[in-house]
């Protein structure tokens, strides 16, 4: 990835930070987008001089356009886009707050669309690009209490397929990664909420709820997802597009 320019949304922590760091170690210039100012600045401090932070709300059209414009002005373009920014709300459909539904879809689905829309012209001009959407195993299967998240992540997979068909002739690939639960701040915050909703101790949530369907009963580490994102950004993955690649500890083997 030496000399490539990668934009990673939600890059201040968790999966996004692991991907940004992995790209930087391989010689890429990384633009980290995150709503959390302190997390984004800390990520740049950790990665070093090859990283730049742009505070971004991916639900905002103006912010997404500014993010991609900043990458072009600072580094000359965009080679790789990783749509990773996310959030979660755990509640039954009958009690799901409408404003939370709207905010989840705005970040998870509309944000993916907006960043991709503004990055693609740069990739088309240079006739090379990689778009990597971080979906979820919940883009393929459902779990209770996650209506908005599951709906949005299913939408990301549909969007991935359409975009792949539209830009393949320009030597651009568009793929999605579908992880099971990953050890991130987002997942850690869910444990207490899942315990409350299901009426079980927090210590039992990982085994009884989060990893119960899996063959390997553990959480994924962010670096495992980052390794797949590195591969998809490489020339070795040039023949893979429109795919939804599972890294799910055997969740969908049933």
What residues are annotated to the active site? Answer: 149
* DSSP conformation class of 182: B
Nearest-angstrom CA–CA distance, 228 and 139 = 17
Residue 107 CA: distances (Å) to CA of 57, 59, 172, 175, 187: 8, 5, 24, 18, 17
**What sign does the dihedral 179-183-187-192 (CA atoms) show?**
positive
Supply the angle between the helices 37-47 and 14-25 in degrees, to the nearest 10: 30
The CA R_g of the chain, rounded to the nearest whole Å, is 17
Q: Where are the alpha helices (DSSP H) in the chain?
A: 14-25, 37-47, 61-75, 98-105, 111-126, 147-167, 185-198, 202-205, 222-232
Of 78, 88, 27, nearest in space to 54 by CA: 78
Contact 72, 31 (CB under 8 A): no
Q: What sections of 79-221 are H helices per DSSP?
A: 98-105, 111-126, 147-167, 185-198, 202-205
């Amino acid at each position: 990835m030496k000399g490539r320019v990668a934009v990673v949304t939600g890059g201040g922590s968790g999966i996004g930070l692991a991907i940004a760091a992995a790209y930087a170690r391989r010689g890429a210039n990384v633009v980290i987008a995150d709503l959390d100012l302190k997390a984004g600045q800390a990520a740049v401090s950790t990665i070093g001089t090859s990283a730049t932070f742009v505070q971004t709300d991916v639900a905002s059209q103006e912010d997404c356009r500014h993010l991609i414009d900043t990458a072009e002005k600072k580094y000359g373009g965009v080679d790789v886009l990783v749509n990773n920014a996310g959030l979660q709300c755990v509640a039954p459909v009958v009690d799901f707050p409408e404003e939370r539904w709207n905010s989840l879809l705005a970040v998870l689905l509309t944000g993916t669309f907006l960043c991709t829309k503004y990055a693609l012209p740069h990739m088309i001009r240079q006739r090379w690009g990689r778009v990597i959407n971080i979906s979820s195993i919940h883009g393929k299967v459902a779990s209770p209490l996650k209506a908005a998240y599951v709906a949005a992540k299913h939408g990301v997979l549909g969007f991935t397929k359409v975009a792949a068909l539209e830009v393949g002739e320009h030597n651009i690939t568009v793929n999605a990664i579908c992880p099971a639960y990953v050890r991130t701040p987002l997942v850690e915050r869910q444990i207490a909420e899942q315990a409350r909703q299901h009426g079980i101790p927090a210590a039992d949530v990982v085994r009884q709820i989060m990893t119960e369907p899996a063959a390997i009963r553990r959480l994924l580490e962010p670096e495992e997802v980052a390794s797949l994102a590195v591969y998809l950004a490489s020339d070795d993955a040039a023949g893979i597009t429109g795919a939804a690649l599972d890294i799910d500890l055997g969740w969908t083997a049933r």
